[in-house]
Chain A
Amino acid sequence: MQFVRTLTILLLFLLPINAKANEAKNWLKIEIDKIIYAYQNQDLPNENRFLMIEQTINNNFAGSGIAKFVAGKSWSESSKETKLEYIKLFKRHLALNIASMMQGYSNQKYQLIHSNYDEKNKVTMIDMEIFSETGSIQVTWRVKKSKERFFVIDLLVADISLVVTKRSEFNSMLKTVDYNLQKLNEKLAAQNEISYNKIIN
């Protein structure tokens, strides 16, 4: 009897957590399919395809929050205008990175295999397996809910976090410009231009 009671309490505790994880998983599937649809639609010109993907990414990623995190200590020392310009450039940079990565997966099948809600940090981790003919690769999406909306806060490919890598990369670049965010903006704009031309051609 004691066992049944413990089991019931445990189930009552776990069910809402599982429901939260599944809700995020269902939302993610719809958004991933939008990106894949953009890649698979051969009628779309490359510029329009990227714009469609960029819009999906901007709507669903915590772009401003990630930008702030990646900027590290240079964030607090910058003016409001510089920060706004940086966020705009960073969001495009993020979209270019993700679009470029997803391009390689566009013809492959994927499955959202597992989702787990981290109660402490209020983050859902969703594991996705992408299948190719010679193997598979695991991608983990970290999703957070705010004001009834989901946002992707990080993406891990084979244990490597996109956000951690970007922070390390930007920190290394910021060191060379004395942590001046305005100077980073110039470099970021130039890099975005190169990446954009590669993705649309």
Chain B
Amino acid sequence: MSKLIHLLATLIIFSISFNLHAGASDEVKTSSDDFETTIFEDEIYDPLEGINRAVFGFNNVADKVILEPAAKGYRKLPNPVQSGIGNFIKNLKLPLVAVNQLLQGQGKNAAESTGRFLLNSTIGVFGLIDVADDFGLEQKEEDFGQTLATWGIGDGFYVVLPLFGPSNVRDTTGMIMTMMTDPVNAYATNQGEAWLIPLRTAANAVDQRSKIIDEVNALRDNSVDYYAAVRSSYYQNRKAAIMNTDDDILTPLPLISIEFE
């Protein structure tokens, strides 16, 4: 056990120190002659683009063959069943959400997430019903990737993980930390029910995918470079999640010239 902890600690320290260096390299590259309208970021550090595109191609096929049909089937379930499954999955994430909120210094949010977890796990029948929402306790998402970002650790380079999809070095580290510290996963393993972990991951993927079927298909069907579109979307989405700011303020405003419309 101590060997495992030692290995984990080494891995985390390595990843963090690597990310501190990577943080400098993912700075946005812009120059005044890049564009005539405004200073804008559109360069994402992607040194493994060739490999990433190959993995992305594989994921895209897996999505079309497995995930999308599963998500479409899931959408045919009665709405209360879909909501119940979605609520149950979200509720299981809350202990780690609260931990990450604490690590980010968000004491109030951590207390609210804990309250949500307690209310939904009891009155909400093991998290199937989101009763906490009626008490004004909003669902908020925080993960280790966001926590590391809040601590000043840079994105690192962009990476597409097999089956898990777009990520970067920091968020991948965060994902590994989540897997290793998740109390629900730990409990399942201790009970000899480790098979529940991939099932939970798959259910989460289907639930999430079912919510964005139209958006993903619109992007896939209409992109001149689908890989680049997904990469950009991922970075924008993560930036918004990390900043916890209103999107109007957060997303840079492209100063579009409308004089010649």
Contact = CB atoms under 8 A, between A and B. Distances in A.
Interface of A: 62-66, 68-69, 72-73, 75-76, 93, 96-97, 100-101, 103-105, 116, 118, 121, 123, 125, 127, 133-135, 138, 140, 142, 144, 146, 151, 153-154, 156-161, 163-173, 184, 187-188, 191, 194-195, 198
Contacts of B134: none
B230 to A, nearest CB: 9
B5 interface: no
A172 B237 contact: no
B15 interface: no
Interface string B67-80: 00000000000010
Given A121-B253, A121-B255, A164-B232, A133 B40 contact: no
Contacts of A97: 218, 222
A65 B258 contact: yes
The CB with the most chain B CB atoms within 10 A, among A93, A166, A168, is that of A168
Contact of B237 (A66, A105, A158, A187): A158
Contact of A151 (B79, B218, B258): B258
Interface in B23-82: 33-38, 40, 42-44, 79, 82
A146 B256 CA distance: 12
A163 B233 CA distance: 11
Interface stretch (B159-167, B191-199, B244-252): B244-252
B229 A123 contact: no
A171 B220 CA distance: 17
A27 B58 CA distance: 44
Nearest to A176: B225
A135 B139 CA distance: 13
B214 A101 contact: yes
